[in-house]
Amino acid sequence: MVKNKVKAMIYMNYTGNEALDGKAMSILEKYCEKQGYEIVVGFGEDTDREGISEPVKFMMVGLAVEKQVDVIVTMFSEMISDNYDGTVEILSKLLGYNVMFETVQDDLDDYYDEAFEQEADMCDGDCDNCGIANDESVIEELNRAFYE
């Protein structure tokens, strides 16, 4: 029996630095490849660091309803929303359609704890994927660009 690949959407909140944004997209693509995900859509927007815009949230829910994506991958939680409640809200909404968010920095556990109202273990125990998140120079530069 052939197992279907997990369908992934890559989401990026752009910094305005083309070189940095290109490196970040490359890291997201490598992450998906290492996970064995099939990238079905990649999308980026500049929301002045507010997180996912309302039209893109609507698009994500539509993709989830139509079962076009199984997972949405981004760099870190602040690309989802600029506040805790906003992040939990979108995670909860997509959980209703069995769609999960994953971040390269693996920083969503606290948000999923809240969304599930129980401890969420996002790690599958395969630490080979951790090498991507350890590309410290790109992640540090992306964090600086994102928060300045």
Measured CA distances, 52 to 43, 48, 79 (Å) = 11, 10, 7
The 3-state DSSP class for residue 4 equals coil
Instruction: Please check the confidence at residue 137 and state whether its pLDDT lies above 80.
Output: no
Choose between 121 and 12: higher pLDDT: 12
Over residues 78-100, the pLDDT tens digits come to 889 988 888 888 888 888 888 99
Cα 26 to chain centroid distance, Å, stands at 14
- Taking alpha carbons only, the member of 91, 83, 98 closest to residue 117 is 91
139 pLDDT band (50/70/90 cuts)? low
Which of 41-50, 65-74, 82-91, 117-126 is the most confident on average?
65-74
Within 10 angstroms of residue 21's Cβ, the number of other Cβ atoms is 18
Determine the average pLDDT of the residues in 123-141. Answer: 48
pTM reported for the whole predicted model: 0.74
- Residues 17, 49, 25, 59, CA torsion sign: negative
Instruction: Please check the confidence at residue 56 and state whether its pLDDT lies above 70.
Output: yes
21 pLDDT band (50/70/90 cuts)? confident
What's the rounded Cα separation, in Å, for the pair 84 and 88?
6
